[in-house]
Amino acid sequence: MRSLLVAELTDFLEGELSGTTTETFTGVSKIDQSIPGSLSFLANDKYEEHIYTTSATVVLVKKDFTPQKELDKTLIRVEDPYLAFCKVLNKYFNPAIAKSGVEPGAVISEKSTLGTNVYIGANTYIDENSTIGNNVKIYPNCHIGSGVTIDDNCLIYANVSIYNDSQIGENTIIHSGAVIGSDGFGHAPQKDGSYVKIPQIGNVVIGKNVEIGSNCSIDRATMGSTVIHDGVRLDNLIQVAHNVEIGAHTVIASQSGISGSTTLGPNCVVGGQVGFAGHITIAKGTKIGAQSGLGRSVTEENTRLFGSPVQPLKDEMRSQIVFRELPQLKEKVEQLEKVINEKNEG
């Protein structure tokens, strides 16, 4: 790891420097477990005591941070120290993006193009008419179909399959075992009870700064495109069916499934094991609790929903209270029935 100038880092983070511009650091560390020559950060006030004893050379702090004691440290003031620290890790300390070159056993069509500083792992196959951008890293045993576009700075981990004509936006990360562009689940029933497969001739379009977890499956559209917009985060083991559209900066937790032609608006938050019926629309900013089931559209923005079938969170909580009291309610009803029967008999 080369030495990094504090001045260079300050410019990268668009921060404000308190200290010398010639200071350098060569690593990172936690503020309470620091080492000399490292960069650390203070984001939570409860850790402030450590900034006065830390061995770190440089510390990222909030813009309004005011030391309560004498402090002989180089500080870089930023809006969000934790976010700034994450940016530093990604740019300077991520070993996954350090590789370059084409390893033995990789097969690349002469009709495809590679950008600069790419890495293609062993046994990866890139079909014809595909375009791989600058600084793209594709780890071993991946399959990249024909006509695929992977824009700059993407990271594709081992054993990923990207089917024909898929488009991957810059700075996107796809984890191992993911399948991008597999056939949508389209089968037309016949009178005899059998099915005819409906050809899936669309593609998948993934925006910028997306992260797709391991073993996710994103189906190509029947016609048109399945679309994952900028900044979406998909956890592991998620199914996205044909012609689905997921709005920008939506986050979906593990084992959720989205049926065909459903649209999720931007900035939604979806818990684990949530199921979406097909052909529905979910409004912007919707937050959905784990194991919920959605069979109809959500039209009101920024609502909190839970349950199966889903309902407003407060209503579901009230329902849960009633459900827990059902045994006692049953007992009371039986007592009332007994009293009524005794009166009728008398």
The CA angle 308-314-317, to the nearest 5 degrees, is: 60
Residue 110 has a CB neighbour count (10 Å cut-off) of: 6
β-partners of residue 287 are 269, 304
Main-chain dihedrals φ then ψ at residue 116, nearest 5 degrees: -85, 150
Per-residue burial over 228-247, b = 16 or more CB atoms within 10 Å of its CB, e = otherwise: bbbbbbbbbbbbbbbbbbbb
CA dihedral 311, 313, 314, 319 (to 10 degrees): 60
300: Cβ contacts below 8 Å, ≥ 6 apart: 283
Closest CA to 185 of 271, 92, 262: 262
Rounded CA-CA distance 7/157 in Å is: 33
* Closest-CA residue to 210 (of 262, 155, 253): 155
Structure token digits, residue 21: 């511009």
Q: Which of 229, 242, 249, 279 is catalytic?
A: 242
Angle between helical axes of 6-13 and 81-92 (0-180°, round to 10): 120
242 in catalytic set? yes
264 with 248: CB under 8 angstroms? no
Round to whole Å and give the CA distance between 221 and 181: 8
Cβ pair 28, 93 in contact under 8 A? yes
Is 169 in a helix, a strand, or coil? coil
The CA distance from 255 to 243, in Å, is 19
Cα–Cα distance for residue pair 260/226, rounded to 1 Å: 9
Q: What is the CA radius of gyration of the chain?
A: 27
Q: Residue holding tokens 């984890």?
A: 175
Active site residues: 242
